[in-house]
Structures are given as C-alpha cells and as structure tokens.
C-alpha cells in the first residue's frame, strides 16, 4: 500500500470520483478541491466521505476554484501532494460556446495557475502533474485514427482552452524539468456521467420513456462518431502515467468508434425497444418499431443485481406498481431532432489509437461498448424507478431535461 498524497481538482466530477476511489484503494491520502455551490454538490463522492473528526481519515475536501490562484497556492502548500491531477474544468463543449471567457479562465488559465503554484512553492522536483487533455484537441481531424502525433485543430472555445493547457504542460516539463503529463483521453462515460452529455442524456431519457415518465428525447447531430470508453478504466491510465520513469503524453481510447445514432439504437435495444428512423435532417424521428417485452421484463427485474448503486431499499420488481405499459410505445416517435443541440462547429469523428499506452503503460480498456451502454441503462432504470414510486404515490413529476 502506498502512503502517497494526491490532490485532485474536479473531485466532484465523474472522473474525480472514480480516481479518488482508485487512489484510496491504493492507500493514498486524497485531497480534493471543490467549488462552493448553493446546494450540496458532492453526490458522486458522498460514499467515500468520512467525517474529518474521525481517526485515520484519508479523504479530505477543500473549497477552492481554478480561477483563484491564491487558494490553489495555499491548498498545495497545506497538503504537500506527491501527485496533482488537474481534472477540474468547464467540461461541456456546447456550453463553452455560450461561456467562452469563463471556459478559458478555468480550463486554460486554471492549469497555468496550478503549474505556477508548483513553481512558486519550489515543488517542481517533488510533484508529479497530470493534465486532463482531450480528444477534442483533434477537432477537425487530420487523420484517422488519432495518435500522440496527429496534429491538433480545435473546434470550440473548450478545445482551444484545453490546447493552451496541453502546451503549458509540455512547456513546464521542458522548461523546468517537471514531471508533467498530458493524458489525451477520448470520451469516457459511466453511470455517473453528467446528465447533459449525450450518452447519459440518452440512457436517462430512454429509461424514463420506458417507464412512462417522459414522452420524447430531443437530440442534435445523430451522425457524430465518438470513441466511448468507461471512466473507471480511464482513471487507471491517469495514475499509470504518473508512475513511469519519465513523463510523457499518452492517448487513452478504446480504438472503436460509434455514432450517436448507434448509441441510441443499442440503448433502446437494451430495453427491448427496436427503433426505425424516418425523415431526414431536422425532421428525422426515431419511431418505436417493436417491443421485446420479455427482454424488458428481464432487464427491469435483473437491474438491481448488476447495479453499483444496489441497495436493499428497493427489492420489489420495478414495474409491479407502474400503470404504464411499454407496449403503448409501439408506433410512437420517441426520438426527435432539435437543432438547438447543433454546435456552431462540430467534431465529426473521433477514433483513438491507444497503442502507446498499451505498450508503455500496459493499459487497456476493460469495458466494451455494449457493456458500457448496458451498465448505463440499468443504472438509469434503477434511478428513474424512484420517480415511478413517487408518481404512483401521487406526487407530480417534472422533467427538466426533456
């Protein structure tokens, strides 16, 4: 077991929570930086939180923000980390078109502030630094598949900000001899993925539609292709990058690409729903062609055994009390295109070549595309079942995402 100390920015995010779990399991003491918010925002890490008054605590959270250099310097000085993982970011590509300056401040200058804090504190030779770089750097792709050598062509304020951080990390490595690495991670998802990223939006909405809680799922570009892996597998690669003899940059990907449309079809199929597509462009709709009721019953009955959030609280079969019959969906257009979700500049296709990571880090993804979709659907069915109970109990159910 290690007795190292790690500091994670973005601890309340998807990756921050998986990485914290992983490092704690290795014996690390983990410090996380969380932003102040007006409501509790720690759902993803509540299960690993321990009252700091207890003895032997190895997980701590500190208020801070990547836009505030003073607190970054103070937290690094206080916690004296061996490893810093910079996962904090305004991470939504579409939102970055709405908030470009803030995105640059947190995603570009935030990284610079951390790197400078390390220098100011004279910790260049003690701290190892991980930068959450992204396949979005490739943007308008110059070659397929993308490797560590593929030229970048960012297509959003988010990607442009991340490009700055990529090069700042390389520069601090070369200028000051810091152990600093870029993980160029392709899309990675999970049961904990934010609800407005396309995969989670799809699994959550389809689960709700199958339970009669929502009518329609509105999506943007169905033809975009992404290399989707599981976040739990990907955080392991971050750690491996910091355990090598010398710091280098690595592509982390599955080596498979699928369209948003394929993701929708597979997620629906997981629920026993077969879709057919009609129309084209903004008029395209996904209509329920047929339902495999046996498959739906099977997944709704078995979801608990496979779900990471399994609790003894709900042991009854989910649909027992539901008045909604999934057969009602046959012939209904449940997927519609809404141009609101089109991006001013799109990244059409991403496909990573993780050969270097396989060879040098001994890393490879463990979760297949179909396993990822299945895990996410099961988890969302479980979550949404709570709303079915509320609805059947007479409470009004609102959906803010439709």
Catalytic residue among 9, 29, 111, 134: 134
- Residue 133 vs 303, nearer CB to ligand GDR: 133
Whether the Cβ atoms of residue 185 and residue 132 lie closer than 8 Å to each other: yes
3-class SS of residue 182: strand
Give yes or no for residue 188 binding ligand NDP (CB under 6 A): yes
Interface positions with ligand GDR (CB under 6 A): 91, 93-94, 134-136, 186-187, 196-198, 201, 219-221, 224, 226, 260, 341, 343, 346-347
| Phi, psi angles (nearest 5°) of residue 215 | -95, -45
Catalytic residue among 18, 130, 138, 158: 158
**Which has the closest alpha carbon to 89: 18, 31, 11?**
11
29 a catalytic residue: no
Which of ligand GDR, ligand NDP, none has residue 214 at its interface (CB below 5 to 8 Å by kind)?
Answer: none
Q: How far is the CB of 135 from ligand GDR (least distance, A)?
A: 5
Which of ligand NDP, ligand GDR, none has residue 12 at its interface (CB below 5 to 8 Å by kind)?
Answer: ligand NDP
**DSSP secondary-structure letter at 357?**
I
147 a catalytic residue: no
Q: How far is the CB of 208 from ligand GDR (least distance, A)?
A: 15
**Residues of span 89-148 touching ligand NDP by CB under 6 A:** 89-91, 106, 132, 134
DSSP string, 7-38: EEESTTSHHHHHHHHHHHHTT-EEEEEE---S
d(CA 169, CA 240): 17
Give yes or no for residue 37 binding ligand NDP (CB under 6 A): yes
d(CA 162, CA 159): 5
d(CA 78, CA 171): 26
Residue nearest to ligand GDR (CB): 224
Which of ligand GDR, ligand NDP, none has residue 10 at its interface (CB below 5 to 8 Å by kind)?
Answer: ligand NDP
Q: Exposed, middle or buried, 30 (CB in 10 Å: 0-12/13-18/19+)?
A: buried
Whether the Cβ atoms of residue 164 and residue 171 lie closer than 8 Å to each other: no
Give yes or no for residue 187 binding ligand NDP (CB under 6 A): yes
**Residues of span 48-67 touching ligand NDP by CB under 6 A:** 65-67
**Which has the closest alpha carbon to 31: 80, 70, 68?**
80
**Residues of span 191-250 touching ligand NDP by CB under 6 A:** 194
**Which has the closest alpha carbon to 287: 268, 266, 260, 262?**
268
Give yes or no for residue 41 binding ligand NDP (CB under 6 A): yes
18 a catalytic residue: no
Stretch that binds ligand NDP, among 34-42, 260-268, 303-311, 331-339 (CB under 6 A): 34-42
Residues that bind ligand NDP (CB under 6 A): 9-16, 33, 35, 37, 41, 65-67, 87-91, 106, 132, 134, 185, 187-188, 194
What are the catalytic residues?
Answer: 134, 136, 158
């Amino acid at each position: 077991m290690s007795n190292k100390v790690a500091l994670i920015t973005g601890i309340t995010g998807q990756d921050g929570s998986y990485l914290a779990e992983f490092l704690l399991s290795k014996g690390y003491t983990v410090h996380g930086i969380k932003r102040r918010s007006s409501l509790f925002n720690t759902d993803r890490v509540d299960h690993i939180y321990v009252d700091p008054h207890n003895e032997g605590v190895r997980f701590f959270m500190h208020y801070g923000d990547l836009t505030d250099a003073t607190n970054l310097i103070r937290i690094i000085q206080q916690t004296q980390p061996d490893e810093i993982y910079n996962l904090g970011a305004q991470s939504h590509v579409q939102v970055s078109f709405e908030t470009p300056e803030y995105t640059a401040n947190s995603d570009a200058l935030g990284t610079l502030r951390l790197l400078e804090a390390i220098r100011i504190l004279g910790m260049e030779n003690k701290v190892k630094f991980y930068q959450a770089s992204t396949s979005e750097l490739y943007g308008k792709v110059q070659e397929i598949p993308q490797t560590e050598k593929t030229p970048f062509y960012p297509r959003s304020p988010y990607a442009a900000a991340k490009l700055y951080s990529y090069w700042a990390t390389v520069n601090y490595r070369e200028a000051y001899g810091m152990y600093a690495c870029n993980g160029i991670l392709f899309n990675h998802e999970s049961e904990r993925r934010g609800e407005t990223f396309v995969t989670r939006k799809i699994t959550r909405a389809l689960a709700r539609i199958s339970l009669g809680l929502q009518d329609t799922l509105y999506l943007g570009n169905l033809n975009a292709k992404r290399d989707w892996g599981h976040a739990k597998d990907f955080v392991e690669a971050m750690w491996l990058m910091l355990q090598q003899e010398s710091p280098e940059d690595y592509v982390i990907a599955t080596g498979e690409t699928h369209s948003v449309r394929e993701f929708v079809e597979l997620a629906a199929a997981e629920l026993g729903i077969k879709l057919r597509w009609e129309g084209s462009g903004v008029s395209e709709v996904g209509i329920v062609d047929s339902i495999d009721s046996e498959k739906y019953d099977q997944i709704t009955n078995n979801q608990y055994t496979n779900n990471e959030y399994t609790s003894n609280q709900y042991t009854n079969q989910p649909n027992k009390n539901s008045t909604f019959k999934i057969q009602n969906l046959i012939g209904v257009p449940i997927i519609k295109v809404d141009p609101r979700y089109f991006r001013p500049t799109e990244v059409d296709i991403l496909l990573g070549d993780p050969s270097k990571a396989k060879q040098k880090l001994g890393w490879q993804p463990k979760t297949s595309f179909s396993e990822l979709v299945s895990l996410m659907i099961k988890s969302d069915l479980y979550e949404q079942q709570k709303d079915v109970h509320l609805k059947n109990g007479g409470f009004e159910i609102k959906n803010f995402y439709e």
